[in-house]
Structure 1
Amino acid sequence: MKKIGLLTREKIVEEIQRRLQDAEACFFVNFSKTNAFFLNMLRNDLRKNNASSFVSKNS
Structure 2
Amino acid sequence: MELMTVDEVAEALRVPVATVRYWRAQGSGPKFVRIGKRIVCRRSDLERFVEQKFAESA
Which TM class, normalised by the smaller chain length?
0.3 to 0.5
Q: Taking CA–CA contacts closer than 8 Å with sequence separation of 6 or more, which of the two structures ends up with the larger relative contact order?
A: 2
Q: Which has the higher strand share?
A: 2
TM value normalised by structure 2: 0.34
Larger Rg: 1
TM-score, normalised to structure 1, is 0.34
